């Protein structure tokens, strides 16, 4: 009987600690290395481009599955992720290849996500309500304005991580309503433009 209660206690202890996640466990080593590489590039860029925020940046790792948090709000001074959420990729980026391989394009009407650096611009009210225009800063995303690629919310995007893929966008970084509210506050409280880096 004593052995039974010890086993029960051990199983309950394991159950209650299952969902505890330390900050260092947010990303695996490979994803963390990719993040650090892009953080370094952003720091170098914002040092010489003072119209951009040198304290906060947004990063999206498209190698991470869409059901997992892959949109990161990063504190460039403290070198840490301070918020994270789900973000959709474009339906045109789907390849149907086993192994979750995505494709990317800057072509209008491709419905693809475009990789590269974006400047988060002024808000406007569109089909999905309030959204932020995105200006592409690289050759790989130079058509962002022409393609109406914006940061917007959508009610079908879940707030919490999922065990499956989430809905696709038409190429926009599309987030949940709750996460959008948090991003909105950061963007509108910033005296300078925020850089968004989408990478793979």
CA dist 101 and 80 (Å) reads 28
Predicted confidence at residue 98, as pLDDT, reads 67
Task: List, in order, residues 6 or more apart from 116 with CB less than 8 Å away.
Answer: 136, 137, 138, 139, 140, 141, 197, 198
Predicted confidence at residue 172, as pLDDT, reads 98
Predicted confidence at residue 97, as pLDDT, reads 84
Predicted confidence at residue 100, as pLDDT, reads 78
Mean pLDDT in consecutive groups of 10 residues from the start of the chain, 200 residues: 38 32 70 97 97 98 97 98 98 86 97 98 97 98 98 98 96 98 98 98
What's this model's pTM, rounded to 2 decimal places? 0.87
End-to-end Cα separation, the chain, in angstroms: 54
Sign of the Cα torsion 156, 64, 192, 117 reads negative
């Amino acid at each position: 009987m004593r052995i039974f209660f010890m086993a029960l206690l051990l199983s309950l202890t394991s159950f209650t600690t299952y969902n505890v996640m330390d900050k260092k466990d947010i990303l695996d080593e490979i994803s963390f290395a990719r993040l650090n590489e892009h953080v370094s590039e952003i720091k170098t860029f914002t040092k010489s481009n003072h119209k951009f925020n040198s304290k906060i940046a947004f990063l999206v790792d498209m190698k991470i599955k869409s059901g997992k948090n892959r949109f990161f709000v990063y504190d460039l001074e403290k070198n840490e992720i301070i918020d994270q959420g789900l973000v959709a990729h474009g339906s045109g980026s789907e390849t149907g290849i086993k192994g979750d391989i995505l494709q990317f394009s800057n072509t209008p009407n491709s419905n693809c996500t475009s990789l590269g650096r974006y400047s988060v611009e002024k808000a406007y009210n569109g089909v999905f309500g309030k959204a932020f225009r995105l200006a592409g800063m690289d050759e790989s995303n130079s058509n962002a304005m022409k393609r109406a690629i914006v940061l917007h919310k959508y009610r079908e995007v879940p707030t919490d991580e999922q065990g499956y893929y989430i809905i696709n966008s038409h190429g926009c970084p599309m987030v949940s309503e709750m996460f959008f509210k948090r991003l909105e506050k950061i963007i509108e409280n910033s005296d300078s433009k925020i850089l968004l880096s989408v990478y793979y």
